């Protein structure tokens, strides 16, 4: 089955909302509380894959010489999510929508030529809290998280596989992301990419090979045009 639709997949942190600093501190606090020792590092670039699963697995392997079991992961994740919820309520200003993010997703929902996905390196539970915080309409979206996935390529492929299973093959697939690892992942997958840089430092991603970078989604028609023109990173 073939169609003329475009699949648009979004990262969450730094792409739809800006909460990276709070998330990192919450992860570190949870690790300290859970294991009674400081987290090894919150420089995510030091880990094999920038996903919650890879980061957590690597920490436990390096600190304790073993893999975490399922119950341990679930208990840690629950504490982490509880802290994210607490921070969201006490400091909602730290969970800011990227300007126009909700509006562009609402717009894409109204256009028959697009399907929408989420592909994030975070676990599903905290990611869902953050999407709800900025009132993102996740209905009929093809969503994939770090649960059960180690590499970001696996996560994006899972979103794509869900969409293809329902809609058939797409004429174009575009991923919106904000970080070095998003550029690397889409380059590895030869996937069209649009970078998002909230501070306007577009060269951060352009120097890595991104061919299209925006600051926000306020220019809806401009974003739709960028989707049509998007190319894989060089």
User: Domain-by-domain residue ranges, the chain?
Assistant: 6-18+95-229, 20-93
- 72-129 pLDDT per residue, tens: 999 999 999 999 999 888 888 888 899 999 999 999 999 999 999 999 999 999 999 9
Query: Which 3 state secondary structure label does DSSP give 112?
Result: coil
CATH architecture for segment(s) 6-18+95-229: 3-Layer(aba) Sandwich (3.40)
Question: CA-CA distances (angstroms) from residue 114 to 4, 62, 196?
Answer: 9, 43, 20
pLDDT at 179 over 70: yes
CA distance 39 to 60: 10
Domains 6-18+95-229 and 20-93 share a fold: no
CA distance 61 to 140: 37
Query: What share of the chain in percent tops pLDDT 90?
Result: 85
Q: Quick one: pLDDT at residue 22?
A: 85
CATH class of 20-93: mainly alpha
Considering the entire predicted model, what is its pTM? 0.94
Q: Quick one: pLDDT at residue 45?
A: 86
Q: Which residues pair with 114 in a beta bridge?
A: 6
Residue range 184-203: mean pLDDT, rounded: 94
CB-based contact 39:28 (threshold 8 Å): yes
pLDDT interval class at 13 (50, 70, 90): very high
- 20-67 pLDDT per residue, tens: 678 889 999 999 999 999 999 999 889 999 999 999 999 999 999 999
| Helix, strand, coil in percent for the chain, rounding step 5 | 50, 15, 35
């Amino acid at each position: 089955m073939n169609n003329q639709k475009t699949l648009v997949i979004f990262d969450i942190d730094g792409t739809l909302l800006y909460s990276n600093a709070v998330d990192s501190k919450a992860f570190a606090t949870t690790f300290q509380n859970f294991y009674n020792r400081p987290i090894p590092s919150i420089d995510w670039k030091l880990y094999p894959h920038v996903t919650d699963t890879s980061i957590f697995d690597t920490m436990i392997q390096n600190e304790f010489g073993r893999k975490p079991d399922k119950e341990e992961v679930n208990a840690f994740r629950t504490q982490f999510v509880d802290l994210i919820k607490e921070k969201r309520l006490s400091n909602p200003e730290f969970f800011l929508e990227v300007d126009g993010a909700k509006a562009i997703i609402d717009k894409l929902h109204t256009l028959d030529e697009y399907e929408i996905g989420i592909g994030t390196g975070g676990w599903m539970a905290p990611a869902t809290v953050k999407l709800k915080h900025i009132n993102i309409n996740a209905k009929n979206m093809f969503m994939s998280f770090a649960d059960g996935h180690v590499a970001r390529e696996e996560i994006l492929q899972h979103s794509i596989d869900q969409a293809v299973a329902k809609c058939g093959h797409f004429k174009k697939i575009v991923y919106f992301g904000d970080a070095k690892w998003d550029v690397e992942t889409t380059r590895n997958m030869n996937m069209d990419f649009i970078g998002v840089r909230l501070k306007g430092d577009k060269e951060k991603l352009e120097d890595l090979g991104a061919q299209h970078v925006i600051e926000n989604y306020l220019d809806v028609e401009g974003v739709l045009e960028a989707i049509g023109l998007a190319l894989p990173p060089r």
